[in-house]
Structure 1
Amino acid sequence: MTATDTDLGPLVGRTFDAIIFDMDGTLVNSLPAVTRSWVTWAIHYGITEEQFNEYHGVPSGAIIAELIPEAQRDEAKRYIDDLELADVADVEPLPGAVAALESLQESQRAIATSCHRDLMDARIVASGIPRPDTTVTIDDVERGKPHPDPFLLAADRLGLDPKRCLVVEDATAGLIGARRAGCATLAVVTTTPREKVAAEADAVVDNLSGVRFVQVEGGVQVEPA
């Protein structure tokens, strides 16, 4: 699918109060750094690649709770946090991310990420993307994605009804959480196969360069770029 034949389906003509973006895989390409960190971590704890298959977009604490014995979980969490914070040198914006953020007013944009706040800050600085005033990290919620809590809190911090917000995500866990929050969903195909995100999203594009956010009376609409 190209930008010229992007099909936004039920999103066409809808006016949203705000756009809530996931960060990793949606706004920034941190995949090489994430992969390096988690491979190092997995080798240390004897975790196989197959054991990670269903955890993309899930907070690190939830992954560790599934894969690591309870007595080692605190240590394992500190280790992955240290690895990820130390490895941000090649984190960069994904296509269309900067333009998307710059097209929105502060009251119309937010980030809801599974990162801890210090890691979010490090990746925003490393990538150089504009930083929304409204951000939600795993530190801010009791339950992360695929629960709706991050998106509900982002909408609340913006002072908006989540049903009038559009969430942009690259992972099925995030899309499921957004849908549970009542948000509309737009998936980008940057880290997850199209068929998987298409099953959970209202519309799918290759990346944010395929769309533009347009100011209209009463809010923002999404159109093919």
Structure 2
Amino acid sequence: MARDLTATDFAAVIFDMDGTLIDSTPAVLRSWSRWAEENGLPAERLQGFHGVPSAGVVRAVLPAERVDAGIARIDELELTDVEDIVVLPGANEAFRTLPHDQVAIATSCNTPLARARIEASGLEAPAVLVTASDVVHGKPAPDPFLLAAERLGVDPTECLVVEDAPKGLIAAKAAGCATLAVVTTTPRDELDADLVVGDLSAVTWSDAGGRIRLHLVDRAYNAR
């Protein structure tokens, strides 16, 4: 049963990055299209992996003997293409409003790529950043969100996760977190979350006695 997020106060908010806070789609498509071509793979072979760490994608589509080289190559391509990356609506506003020590990013990017995209976008990022480099099992495993909650010093069941990808939402739910989904990369009917909104400009945030309260800008438009 979906939780009423506007009636719940949270200890912390954990944001996914790509597709939630920033739009890196053009760069991602360029890098992976070139990678697929170099590896003799049809582009459709890479569908369905949104939200999965790049290493996990490579392991799923290449034979074992080619995995290490494949991971190194996609890392190289993505790190050298950070053009056209922009902050999505409401993202910087959220970081300006939310308490610095109650916010984290948990992304499927590795650390160098996450930092490169944050810098390229101009995103006002929080201090806590969890990447695929920090965990053994990335999304859809719950590990990134569990580690983010640990670094924030809060119980994951007291956290709200903001995601744009189905696999990220699976990870958040497995961690015991409440879920807010944004319709920036995935159709609304494919997002299984407590609440689904267009993007972060559809919500605002306020202090609730040291906890975080979510408000809908337009309840009728954003109602699921």
1:122-149 CA-partner distances (Å, limit 9, x unpaired): 0010111112111100010010000000
Query: SS where residue 138 of structure 2 aligns?
Result: coil
1:163-187 CA-partner distances (Å, limit 9, x unpaired): 1100000000100000000000000
The answer to whether the aligner puts 1:94 opposite 2:91 as a matched pair is no
Q: Which residue of 2 aligns with 1:192?
A: 186
Q: Which of residues 157, 171, 177 is equivalent to 1:183?
A: 177
Query: SS where residue 12 of structure 1 aligns?
Result: helix
Q: Which residue of 1 aligns with 2:221?
A: none
Q: 1:1-225 maps to which residues of 2 (within 5 A)?
A: 10-197=4-191, 200-225=192-217
Provide closer, same or farther for how the CA distance between residues 177 and 9 of structure 1 changes in structure 2, counting only shifts above 3 A: closer
How far the C-alpha of 1:9 sits from its partner, in A, is: 6.2
Query: SS where residue 10 of structure 2 aligns?
Result: coil
Provide closer, same or farther for how the CA distance between residues 158 and 55 of structure 1 changes in structure 2, counting only shifts above 3 A: same
How far the C-alpha of 1:218 sits from its partner, in A, is: 3.5
How far the C-alpha of 1:50 sits from its partner, in A, is: 2.1
Distance in 1 between residues matched to 2:3 and 2:58, nearest whole Å: 37
Query: SS where residue 68 of structure 2 aligns?
Result: helix
Q: Which residue of 2 aligns with 1:5?
A: none
Deviates more, 1:140-149 or 1:99-108: 99-108
Is the 1:112–1:137 contact (alpha carbons within 8 Å) kept by the matching residues of 2?
yes
Distance in 1 between residues matched to 2:208 and 2:66, nearest whole Å: 52
1:77-131 CA-partner distances (Å, limit 9, x unpaired): 1110011001112111001110011111121100000000000000010111112
Distance in 2 between residues matched to 1:54 and 1:131, nearest whole Å: 28
Q: TM-score, normalised by structure 2?
A: 0.94
- Unaligned segments of structure 2, at least 5 residues: 218-224
Is the 1:18–1:164 contact (alpha carbons within 8 Å) kept by the matching residues of 2?
yes
Is the 1:136–1:153 contact (alpha carbons within 8 Å) kept by the matching residues of 2?
yes
Distance in 2 between residues matched to 1:9 and 1:193, nearest whole Å: 21
Amino acid in structure 1 at the alignment position of 2:101: S
Amino acid in structure 1 at the alignment position of 2:65: A
Amino acid in structure 2 at the alignment position of 1:189: V
Q: What is the total number of aligned residue pairs between the two structures? A: 216
Is the 1:19–1:168 contact (alpha carbons within 8 Å) kept by the matching residues of 2?
yes
How far the C-alpha of 1:52 sits from its partner, in A, is: 1.8
Is the 1:29–1:94 contact (alpha carbons within 8 Å) kept by the matching residues of 2?
yes
